Structure 1
Amino acid sequence: MKPQLIDEETIADHAIHIPAIGLDLTVCIEPSATQGRATLIETRDAPGFGPPMHRHGNETEVFHVLQGAYLFEVDGERRVVRAGETLTARVGTTHRFVNISDETSRMLVLISPGFDATAFFSELRDVMSDGMPDPATLARLGAKWEIEFVGPPLTGE
């Protein structure tokens, strides 16, 4: 059986769109395919956008930049990560990032152990349907997923 490659159109058709944080996200490998050991997602982040500062109670995230450049902050330390470079945010670290390119930047994010990214990001999309929600709403969503939101998104400054 020949492996089947996913083309750009298929990825776009399956993306979860969250305009409030400039994110289009596609789940490439579900945790069920790795016996719960990992999840792989691809993100496409609009210029100047990124997630609020947060920390995971269970997961480590490994970010591999495919296109563009990001400014990351992990436990208070900032670092620019460009295409071809990788950064790890270990479980329990506070982290956030922002796309500092003039165009959409892309990265692969390996999440370990596996995480139901489709359900989480669909719920996040719903909570952010009218823009950035109030902190209490974000905290309720985070508590369900053992993700603590602890600050605003990073700016490119």
Structure 2
Amino acid sequence: MERKKFLLTTAAAIPALLVGQNLTAQKPKRPNKGFVVKATESRFGEKTLLGGKNPNDIKVSQKDTNGDLTIFEYTGNEKGGPPLHIHLHQDEIFFIVQGEYLFQVGEDKHNLKAGDTIFLPRTIPHAFAQLTENGKMFFLFQPSGKMEDFFGELGKLNAPPPPEQGAKLFVEHDMKIVGPPLKF
């Protein structure tokens, strides 16, 4: 009787094992070599200008990391920033290279300058404003989610979208606007 129970249990487990192997086998491979992305270039040579004048270059793509990470280099040529928003699925980290920025994370506000880093946890309302005429920062999303597509869509516009269109873009990319841009 024990042998029959063992055989039935083993037979029932085989489909689950095969499904697990198929899920593992279907994951895309990561690159087997490192790569370099030069200054003022983007990972795959595309150019994304936010607002028609602010380069936002992909340095490490979700395609490189199986969706685990995306890193952007943003060069700001005007003051201001996005509305207060949340990411439903991504943590975000900013590293300031040049200029000065005001960040809000929840209720807390922070002034950041070159060399400073800030962590923004997922589901916490946040926004930033560039306070200087020119600025540069690296920022990353973990996991990548739909962020590369989001910035690709924004890059197709020559100016910030009207509020309704902007809110729709945020929702389509797993984010939600929860307040206006920061006043500075």
Match of 2:128 in 1: 97
Deviation at 1:111, TM superposition (A): 0.6
Partner AA of 1:141 in structure 2: L
Looking at both structures, which has the greater relative contact order when contacts are Cα pairs under 8 Å and sequence separation is at least 6?
A: 1
Count of residue correspondences: 151
| SS state at 2:155 partner | helix
1:60 paired to 2:91: yes
1:110 paired to 2:122: no
Higher percent of residues as strand: 1
Match of 2:152 in 1: 122
Would the alpha carbon gap of residues 130 and 83 (structure 1) be closer, same or farther in structure 2, given more than 3 Å must change? closer
Would the alpha carbon gap of residues 60 and 5 (structure 1) be closer, same or farther in structure 2, given more than 3 Å must change? same
Runs of 5+ unmatched residues, structure 1: none
Supply the RMSD in Å over aligned alpha carbons: 2.3
After TM superposition, the structure 1 = structure 2 runs for residues 21-40 of structure 1, keeping only pairs within 5 Å, are: 23-40=54-71
| SS state at 1:141 partner | helix
Larger deviation: 87-96 or 29-38?
A: 29-38
Would the alpha carbon gap of residues 145 and 117 (structure 1) be closer, same or farther in structure 2, given more than 3 Å must change? closer
- Give me the TM-score of the superposition, normalised by structure 2: 0.72
Partner AA of 2:111 in structure 1: V
**C-alpha separation in 1, matches of 2:89 and 2:35:** 32
Identity %: 25
Would the alpha carbon gap of residues 99 and 113 (structure 1) be closer, same or farther in structure 2, given more than 3 Å must change? same
Partner AA of 2:165 in structure 1: T
Match of 2:23 in 1: none
What do the CA deviations read for 1:18-69 (whole angstroms, capped 9, x no partner)? Answer: 227x632001111121222111111112231211111000000010111111
Partner AA of 1:133 in structure 2: P
Q: Rg bigger for which structure? A: 2
The answer on whether the counterparts of 1:27 and 1:117 sit within 8 Å (CA) in structure 2 is: no
The answer on whether the counterparts of 1:54 and 1:147 sit within 8 Å (CA) in structure 2 is: yes
**C-alpha separation in 2, matches of 1:33 and 1:5:** 12
**C-alpha separation in 2, matches of 1:59 and 1:18:** 21
**C-alpha separation in 2, matches of 1:15 and 1:109:** 17
Structure 1 runs, 4 residues or longer, greater than 4 Å off? none
Deviation at 1:6, TM superposition (A): 3.2
Runs of 5+ unmatched residues, structure 2: 1-32
What do the CA deviations read for 1:72-100 (whole angstroms, capped 9, x no partner)? Answer: 01112110011111001100011111111
